[in-house]
């Protein structure tokens, strides 16, 4: 273990945490004809099977989350290789153009998911826990589906990247 440990700072935390690959998900809804969404690298699946729960952490400074939280019926899309060209756009602060050129599906309750995704689900807010400068949001899964042949992308070392497939012939 290194003896020259960096002081505990936001910069040190971000750099160290960047070594942990994280799945990327879009949390979104169409509310009153307007699409709202945020990209989360904190989606945790399998929090509970009964009831089926997933979780994510949202910064208190998010301007999008309060709108989604108030709506309560949300789509979650695991971002895949097909979404890589749009990942930064979906995560940008330009809320007016976030969904430009992106193919979506919207259910009757407004839950918005992306087409051609590795996995997607509709959820509703189940509970919230305050956690420092974030809130941990528990979401109950109402429906779920996946595309077995689709590959997810991850956020690693501050960039979106694909997972490397194992060579099963070796």
Question: Cα separation of 126 and 130, whole Å?
Answer: 14
φ/ψ of 58, rounded to 5, equals: -125, 130
What pTM was computed for the model? 0.83
- At 36-83, the pLDDT tens digits run 999 888 898 989 999 999 999 999 999 999 999 999 999 999 998 877
Question: Cα separation of 14 and 41, whole Å?
Answer: 13
86 pLDDT above the threshold of 60: yes
Structural domains of the chain sorted by starting position, each given as residue range(s) with its CATH number in brackets:
22-156 (2.30.110.10)
Q: Quick check: 49 and 85 in contact, CB under 8 A?
A: no
| Residue 109 confidence (pLDDT) | 96
Cis ω on the peptide bond leading into residue 51 (within 30° of 0)?
yes
């Amino acid at each position: 273990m290194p003896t020259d440990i960096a002081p505990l700072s936001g910069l040190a935390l971000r750099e160290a945490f960047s070594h942990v690959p994280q799945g990327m998900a879009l949390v979104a809804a169409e509310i009153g004809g307007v699409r709202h969404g945020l990209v989360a690298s904190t989606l945790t699946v399998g929090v509970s099977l009964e009831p089926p729960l997933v979780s994510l952490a949202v910064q208190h400074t998010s301007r999008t989350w309060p709108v989604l939280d108030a709506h309560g019926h949300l789509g979650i899309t695991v971002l895949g290789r097909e979404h890589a060209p749009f990942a930064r756009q979906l995560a940008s602060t330009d809320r007016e153009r976030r969904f430009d050129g992106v193919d979506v599906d919207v259910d009757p309750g407004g839950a918005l998911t992306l087409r051609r995704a590795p996995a997607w689900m509709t959820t509703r807010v189940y509970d919230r826990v305050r956690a420092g400068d974030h809130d941990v949001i528990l979401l109950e899964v109402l429906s779920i589906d996946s595309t077995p042949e689709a590959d997810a992308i991850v956020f690693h070392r501050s960039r979106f990247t694909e997972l490397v497939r194992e060579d099963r012939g070796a």
